[in-house]
Structure 1
Amino acid sequence: MNSYDVAIIGSGPGGYVAAIRCAQLGMKTAIIEKYSVLGGTCLNVGCIPSKALLDSSHHYEDAIKHFEEHGIDIPGDIKVNLKQMIARKQSVVDQTTGGIDFLMKKNKIDVYQGLGSFKDATHITIKGEEETEIEAKNIIIATGSKPSSLPFITIDKERIITSTEALKLTEIPKHLIVIGGGVIGLELGQVYKRLGSEVSVVEYMDRIIPTMDSGLSKELNKVLKKQKFSINTSHKVKSVERVGDEVIVKADNKKGEEVEFKGDYCLVSVGRRPYTDGLNAEAAGVKLNDKGQIEVNEHLQSNVSNIYAIGDVVKGAMLAHKASEEGSLVAEIIAGQKPHIDYNLIPGVVYTWPEVASVGKTEEQLKEAGVDYKTGQFPMRALGRSRASMDLDGFVKILADKNTDEILGVHMIGARAADMIAEAVVAMEYKASAEDIARMSHAHPTFAEATKEAALAATENRALHI
């Protein structure tokens, strides 16, 4: 039987990063993956493939809507080759997962393919082509999450689908009904909207992206409606039925009236649930809470001292980069170091166009906590860079303590917001004031100038270009 210092169950962004960090710190490491390829949800059916399709569909939309204005004439009709688009997406996935294979070899990490389940607190049974058993002093659970559904919905994976199936459709939907106005639903909805689908979003809460700052929700709602999305908030879905090639969704609106949506595809995008199926956690004595998450302390240590858990299978935002940070943290704790994560400073991003990004506290949270704060906001359309690229929608908003000027939250919607948010994370990590950013030189012309101008607006309301 092979013995290890650390064994990791799951090879997503949490698991594979934990494995690399453990190996870097001199530990003999094994990683166990149920599927035939490494990378978990993010690399295979999540972050990476969805961004590939978002990028391809963005190119198509630019070609049919904006090339002429840019002085680019293309003879003949511009058509979508969905088969090639999906094939390119898969090649991006294959290259990325192949990169993880390389990193495992480079760091001398043993990879086991099969379903890993606990025999006890130090032994794992791996059921693949053959059954294997390994021993490990420390074990990290990184089994991730799966798409959630509603109790009355039958996912047939043909017409009533999850994000996994939406990434490999063989035809462009005529009318895609999206149940859920969160990150995944809006991103995939925009992919197919660009390709010619009618898209109806049905959201239970009173706004889309309800966990983010309400200002971002309002602006994104306005932009998507301009893009001809049908946005239906405060709608409680009560039935989803397939009749042949048609899907009928019935919901009650906020007045209690029944509303019916008919489409050829329905994407169920109501969040994700922790995935522990087959883990046999009880054999190791590991406790799960009522949400199906592994219960952990501040060191991500379960109730069994040598077993840790990270990523979507524990509490907190279900984000790939959060899982990766936790993977490094646990590896360093096992090695005797004293790392830390500030969960308030893990950014959230929606990769629609315009992109939406946020870090720190929202206005709603500051109001609820009774914090005395000030706001600085700057519109993207006031930037020369935005006019040059025709990306005029959105803004950057900075929330700062009214007394100390420390930045408490940064919320932005606009071109390249996903990249721009990193400046805010750095600033807040070092407890910068709004004036600190206001006094930093930002290259011109860039989208990032909006962050400086928002900081100026928060500092005695002295933005320069509005």
Structure 2
Amino acid sequence: MNSYDVAIIGSGPGGYVAAIRCAQLGMKTAIIEKYNTLGGTCLNVGCIPSKALLSSSHHYEEATKHFEEHGIEIPGDVKVNLEKMIGRKQAVVDQTTGGIDYLMKKNNIDVYQGLGSFKDATHITIKGEDTTEIEAKKTIIATGSKPSNLPFINLDKERIITSTEALKLKEIPKHLIIIGGGVIGLELGQVYRRLGAEVTVVEYMDRIIPTMDAGLSKELNKVFKKAKCTMNVSHKVKSVERQGDKVIVKADNKKGEEVVMEGDYCLVSVGRRPYTDGLNAEAAGVKINDRGQIEVNDHLQTSASNIYAIGDVIKGAMLAHKAEEEGVFVAETMAGQKPHIDYNLIPGVVYTWPEVAAVGKTEEELKENKVEYKVGQFPFRALGRARASGDIDGFVKILADKKTDEVLGVHMIGARCADLIAEAVVAMEYKASAEDISRMSHAHPTFAEAVKEAALAATEDRALHV
């Protein structure tokens, strides 16, 4: 039987990063993955493939709608080859997951293919082509999450689908009905709307991306309506039925009136749930709460002192970069170091176009906590760089403490916001004031100037270009 200092169950961004950091710190490390490829949901059926399709569909939209205004004329019709587009997406996934294989070899990490389940707190059985057992002094559970569903919906994975199936459709839907106006549903909705599908979004809450700042939700809603998507908020879905190649969705609106929608595909995108199936956690003394999450303390240690858990399987936002931070945190904790994670400073991003990104507190949270704050906001349309590229939708909003000027939250929607948010994270990590940001030189012309201008607006209401 092979023995290890640490074994990691699950090879998503949390698991594989934890394995690398453990190996860097001198621990003999094993990683266990039930699927044929490493990388978990994010690399195989989540972040990476969805961004590949978002990129491809964005190119198509630019070619069909915007090239002409740039003086680029394409003879004949521009056509979508969906099979080739999906093929490119898969090639990106294969290259990325292959990179994880390389990193495991580089760091001398043993990879086991199969379902890992606890025999006890220090022994793990791996059921793959063969059954293997290993011993591990410590274990990190990084088994991630799976798409959630509503109890009355039968996911046939043909017409009534999850995000996994939506990433490999063989045809462009005529009418895609999306249940859930969160990140995953909106990203995939934009992909297929660009490619020509009619898209209807059905959201239970009174706005899309309901966990983000209301201003961002309002602006993104405008973008989707401008693209002729139907946005049904405050709608409670009560039935989803397939009739041949048709899917009938019935929902009640906020007045209690029944709304009937008919499409050829229905994407159920109502969040994700922690995945612990087959883990046999109880055999190791690991407690799982009523929400299916593994309970951990401030050190991400489970009820079994030698076992830790990270990522989607524990409390908190289900984000790849949150899982990565936790993977490093646990590895360094086990090595006797004193790492830290500030969960308030983990950014959230929606990779639609325009992109949406945020970090820190929303206005709603500040009001609820009775924190006095000031607001600085700057529109992208006032930027020379935005006008030059035609990306004029959106704004940057900075929330700062009214007395101290410390930045409490940054919320943005616009071109390249997924990258721009890192400036806000750095500033807030070092307790910067809005004035600090406003006094830093930002290259011109860039999208990043919107951050400086919003900071100026928050500091003395003196944005320069509005």
Shorter-chain TM-score range: over 0.9
Other structure's SS at 1:359 match = strand
Give the aligned partner of residue 56 of structure 1.
56
Which runs of structure 2 are paired with 1:339-418 in the superposition (5 Å)?
Answer: 339-418=339-418
Q: Which residue of 2 aligns with 1:420?
A: 420
Query: What one-letter code is carried by the residue in structure 2 that aligns with 1:107?
Result: N
Separation in 1, partners of 2:212, 2:431: 22
Counterpart amino acid of residue 32 in structure 2: I
> Paired residue for 2:244?
244
Output the CA distance in 2 between the equivalents of 1:223 and 1:49. Answer: 23
Mapped to 1, the partners of 2:455 and 2:361 lie a distance apart of 16
Offset of 1:118 from its aligned partner? 0.2
In the alignment, residue 370 of structure 2 is paired with which amino acid?
G
Distance 1:100 1:307 in 2: 24
**What is the alpha-carbon distance in structure 2 between the residues aligned to residue 436 and residue 460 of structure 1?**
12
Residue 167 of structure 2 is aligned to residue 172 of structure 1: no
Determine the C-alpha separation between the residues in 2 that align with 1:15 and 1:406: 35
Residue deviations 1:152-179 (CA, integer Å, cap 9, x gap) = 0000000000000000000000000000
Distance 1:224 1:177 in 2: 14
TM-score (norm 1): 1.00
What TM-score does the superposition give when structure 2 sets the normalisation length? 1.00
What's the counterpart of residue 219 of structure 1?
A: 219
1:87 aligned partner: 87
1:318 and 2:357 correspond: no
* Paired letter, 2:415: A
2-structure distance, mates of 1:15, 1:459: 42
For residue 460 of structure 1, report the CA deviation from its aligned partner: 1.1
Displacement of 1:224: 0.9
Q: For 1:376, what is the secondary structure of its paired residue? A: strand
SS in 2 for 1:171: coil
Q: What is the deviation of 1:55?
A: 0.1
**What does residue 441 of structure 1 align with?**
441
**Partner secondary structure for residue 103 of structure 2:** helix
- Report the equivalent of 2:14: 14
Structure 2 stretches lacking a partner, 5+ long: none
Q: Distance in 2 between matches of 1:281 and 1:45?
A: 25
Q: Distance in 1 between matches of 2:193 and 2:222?
A: 16
Matched to 1:450, the amino acid is A
**Hey, what's the Cα distance between the residues in 2 that align with 1:215 and 1:369?**
19
Q: Distance in 1 between matches of 2:32 and 2:433?
A: 45
CA–CA distance in structure 2, aligned partners of residues 432 and 228 of structure 1 = 41
Q: How does 1:199-238 map to 2 (within 5 A)?
A: 199-238=199-238
Partner Cα separation in structure 1 for residue 123 and residue 435 of structure 2: 54
Q: In the alignment, what sits opposite 1:108?
A: 108
* CA distance in structure 2 between the aligned counterparts of 1:99 and 1:298, rounded to whole angstroms: 32
Query: Could you give the per-residue CA deviations for residues 20-49 of structure 1, whole angstroms, max 9, x where no partner exists?
Result: 000000000000000010000000000000
Q: 2:112 is aligned with what amino acid?
A: Y
- CA distance in 1 between partners of 2:85 and 2:31 (Å): 32
Aligned to 2:183: 183
* Alignment partner of 1:256 is 2:267: no
Partner Cα distance (1:223, 1:86) in 2:
25
Q: Partner letter of residue 121 of structure 2?
A: A
What's the counterpart of residue 134 of structure 2?
A: 134
* Aligned position for 1:159: 159
Residue type of the alignment partner of 1:211: T
2:287 equivalent in structure 1: 287
1-structure distance, mates of 2:126, 2:39: 18
Instruction: Count how many residue pairs are aligned between Structure 1 and Structure 2.
Output: 466
Distance 1:285 1:180 in 2: 36
Deviations 1:355-406 (CA, angstroms, capped at 9, x unpaired): 0000000000000000000000000000000000000100000000000000
Other structure's SS at 1:133 match: strand
What is the identity percentage for the equivalent residue pairs of Structure 1 and Structure 2?
86
Instruction: Tell me the secondary structure at the aligned position of residue 374 of structure 1.
Output: strand
In 1: Cα distance, 2:211 partner to 2:339 partner: 28
Q: Which runs of 4+ in 1 moved over 2 A?
A: none
Q: 1:223: Cα distance to partner?
A: 1.1
Deviations 1:116-155 (A, max 9, x none): 0000000000000000000000000000000000000000
Q: What residue ranges of structure 1 are gaps of 5+ in the alignment?
A: none
Q: What does residue 334 of structure 1 align with?
A: 334
